[in-house]
Amino acid sequence: MSGARSEEAGVTPFEANPYAATTVELAQETAPQQLELASRWSRLAAVVVNGVLVLLSAMPWLLGSQLVGDGALANALYLLVAFGVPLGFVYYNCLLLEQSGQTVAKRLLGIRVVRRDGTYCGAWHYVVARFFPAILLSFVPLGSLLDASMIFRESRRCLHDDWAGTRVVKA
């Protein structure tokens, strides 16, 4: 009954309680309709550039055993470089993903990954929901080709984008 009386007096139940939590309306960073989808060519170029960068980061591991001499120090240095460079590349990509939704290649090409509604997509969501399904598809015969060919749909989304609820837009 007291709640009805306070509403009649123009006071909502929240205003009547001085201990009630405050409410704040949060605005979206960018409205979904304002985001322009990345071109198919920029997405393809990002995959190629990323592949080249991954290969370059793995070069010390691939070639290092040929160049390293005998001895414990040489082997330790080889292991440090062979594993440190690729891990450093992965770490840097994760930092970029967390900060801006971009990998090194996506940053170079001016595109980024967002959720379907245009909101921020962090590194954890990117890796777990988007990257791992794409890796799993690569084990299926022609799976990667099928995944990549989906960018020719009107939505320009790959299968892993559909599963992760993401899309790639211009940065």
Q: Containing H/E element for 169?
A: strand 166-170
Q: What is the pLDDT of residues 7-36, one digit of tens each?
A: 555 555 555 677 767 766 655 554 455 789
pLDDT of residue 34: 77
When pLDDT is cut at 50, 70 and 90, the band that residue 91 belongs to is very high
For the chain, report the end-to-end CA distance as a whole number of angstroms.
54
Q: What is the pLDDT of residues 114-128, one digit of tens each?
A: 999 988 888 888 888
Higher-pLDDT residue of 34 and 50 is: 50
Which of 106, 150, 153, 156 is CA-nearest to residue 126? 106
pLDDT of residue 109: 95
Q: What is the pLDDT of residues 58-90, one digit of tens each?
A: 888 777 666 666 777 777 778 888 888 899 999
Distance CA 9, CA 11 (A): 6
Torsion of CA 68, 70, 72, 75, to 10 degrees: 20
Residue 3 has pLDDT above 80, yes or no: no
When pLDDT is cut at 50, 70 and 90, the band that residue 107 belongs to is very high
Residue pair 98/123 in contact (Cβ under 8 Å)? The answer is: yes
Torsion of CA 131, 133, 134, 138, to 10 degrees: 140
When pLDDT is cut at 50, 70 and 90, the band that residue 6 belongs to is very low
The DSSP secondary structure of 109-170, one letter per residue, reads HTEEEEETTS----HHHIIIIIIHHHHHHHTSTTHHHHHHHGGGSTT---HHHHHHTEEEEE
- Chain centroid, CA 61 distance in Å: 26
Q: What is the pLDDT of residues 154-166, one digit of tens each?
A: 989 998 999 999 9
pLDDT of residue 138: 86
pLDDT of residue 31: 47
Higher-pLDDT residue of 42 and 65 is: 42
Which of 23, 24, 35 is CA-nearest to residue 121? 35
Distance CA 46, CA 112 (A): 10
